[in-house]
Structure 1
Amino acid sequence: MQIMMPFLTAKLAGQYVAVDAVGLLVSTLQLEPGCASSRIGRCISKSVLPGLVRLISPLMPPIAVGTVAILCGNAIAQSSSAILKSGLQVVLAASLLHASGFFFGYILSRLLGIDVASARTISIEVGMQNSVLGVVLATQHFGNPLTAVPCAVSSVCHSIFGSVLAGIWRQNVPTQTQD
């Protein structure tokens, strides 16, 4: 996906805005070593530095939320007048995108025979696509700040919907054998 996304963007959006597919590809691939090193570091640190992990782990979620809020808030603030003009359409499109991701992620998982707990996890993963990556890439590679707005609005929508859905599902935790 990381390799095809920049070229599909150039093909599909290139007729409306200038798209540097190679630049998008390089930016996207630069994130992969960070993700891999994060996973490796997590495995190593749990066995080598468990005390440090226990100390730092509670701090990471608020830092992540703050970072997302700053990135998305900046994109939304820069384009507030455009959002006020067409905001309802953007919010509706983002809401439908994420609602269908949550719904189909769960339904298709269950149809494939996956247990309830795993289907819920898949639903959250599918419904909460990485809109912040879109904000960063749009900000870096497109001159017009409006290009980051749909991703920023999408990030807000999936954060709200995902949190509400997780809260609802937390009320009824499935057992290991529930199908």
Structure 2
Amino acid sequence: MIKFLEKVAALICKYMTVWVIVMSAIAFINPEPFKFIGPHISYMLGVIMLGMGLTMSLDDFRLVITRPKEVFYGVFFRYLIMPLSGFLVAKLLGLPPVLAAGVVLLGAVPSGTGSNVMTYIAKGDTALSITVSSVNTILAPILTPYIFLLLAGSMIPIDVTALLVDIVKIVLLPVTAGVVLHTTAPKLVEKFIKIVPAVSVIFIIAILASVVALNAAKMATVALVLCAAVVLQNVLGLGLGFYSAKAVGMTEKKARAISFEIGMENSGLAVALALAHLDPMAALPAAVGTVWEYISGSLLASYWGTKPAAQDAGEVAAVGEANG
């Protein structure tokens, strides 16, 4: 039974982008059946974050001690580049305040788990990617609400305390519970860990379909500028992430990892926060971003995957010792 479920789970995950597009289209054409999901989004995201925690262990934070400079730059660039890119794109395109706030919020949330997968495909530094993802997720309850307040506070009213509390409940507590469970009962987790990503994908699809359903009447009027904003913000994140990492002396492999850490967001969290604290329309950038970042991320990862990154000095020395 477990093997069958694992095969089904792999199929669901493999065609995630297709499912998202199809279900979003159905929700746009016939929104009513999907609207009931809205009030349950925070709980669904909590389950997704629990799943993320189950894939993490204390070893994921080891690089904080062994390679602190690289982890610091990864987290620093994550919370500098994307929020500012969102703010500048919103101003450049003259977005309505609610939509502009949604774009900034998308940039202010931590990076998504998809960044680790893309880094692996791109032959980047996966260990660095996992550590940066883990650290910026843990820091999200503090950094996300205050960065969002700083950049979007003039656009719409923001209750930063309520945002902080929600991020703790939706992100920090479930992730911590997942890490604890993985650490204390690894054999139990190992039995169903391959099914967990599919559960997350199903919930993400449901969340995005709900956002589309809640905004179906408004989407036609903002579709073009919304897509332009999301694409521009994502491209800026991927590009500036890569070149910023290179500028501080990181190798090609590490720069690829940082590129995905900056360019791929936890859009589900942005959706949940927007619906709970802002306006359904503010959730649209995150909904569109989920689809686009997987398209752009997959294309970039596939391209880099065909071009092996140059080894750094440590790797060259290790290879030399092994061959010697």
TM-score when normalising by structure 2: 0.48
RMSD: 2.6
Q: Does the CA-based 8 Å contact 2:141-2:165 persist in structure 1? A: no
Q: Output the CA distance in 2 between the equivalents of 1:92 and 1:16.
A: 20
Q: Output the CA distance in 2 between the equivalents of 1:122 and 1:44.
A: 31
Alpha-carbon offset, residue 17 of structure 1: 3.9
Q: Which runs of 5+ in 2 are unaligned?
A: 1-139, 317-324
Q: 2:172 is aligned with what amino acid?
A: E
Q: Output the CA distance in 1 between the equivalents of 2:202 and 2:193.
A: 15
Q: Output the CA distance in 2 between the equivalents of 1:120 and 1:9.
A: 26
| 1:94 equivalent among 224, 230, 233 | 230
Percent of pairs identical after alignment?
26
Aligned to 1:5: 144
Aligned to 1:118: 254
| 2:280 equivalent among 145, 154, 161 | 145
Q: 1:37 is aligned with what amino acid?
A: A
| 1:166 equivalent among 267, 291, 301 | 301
Q: Output the CA distance in 2 between the equivalents of 1:29 and 1:130.
A: 15
How many residue pairs match? The answer is: 174
- 1:73 lines up with 2:209 in the alignment: yes
Aligned to 1:109: 245
Query: What secondary structure, in the 3-state scheme, does the structure 2 residue paired with 1:19 have?
Result: coil
Alpha-carbon offset, residue 42 of structure 1: 3.2
Aligned to 2:182: 42
Q: Output the CA distance in 2 between the equivalents of 1:17 and 1:108.
A: 31
Alpha-carbon offset, residue 134 of structure 1: 0.8
| 2:173 equivalent among 30, 33, 36 | 33
Q: Residue deviations 1:24-61, cap 9 Å, x none?
A: 1110122212223323433444xx41x741x3232222
Q: 2:158 is aligned with what amino acid?
A: V
| 2:160 equivalent among 14, 21, 32 | 21
Alpha-carbon offset, residue 80 of structure 1: 2.1
Q: Does the CA-based 8 Å contact 1:135-1:151 persist in structure 2? A: yes
Mean CA deviation greater in 120-129 or 9-18: 9-18
Q: Output the CA distance in 2 between the equivalents of 1:60 and 1:168.
A: 28
TM-score when normalising by structure 1: 0.82
Structure scoring higher RCO (CA < 8 A, sep ≥ 6) equals: 2
Query: What secondary structure, in the 3-state scheme, does the structure 1 residue paired with 2:141 have?
Result: coil
Alpha-carbon offset, residue 77 of structure 1: 2.2
Mean CA deviation greater in 122-131 or 152-161: 152-161
Q: Does the CA-based 8 Å contact 1:131-1:155 persist in structure 2? A: yes
Aligned to 2:218: 82
Q: Which runs of 5+ in 1 are unaligned?
A: none
1:11–1:112 Cα change, 3 Å: closer
Alpha-carbon offset, residue 79 of structure 1: 0.8
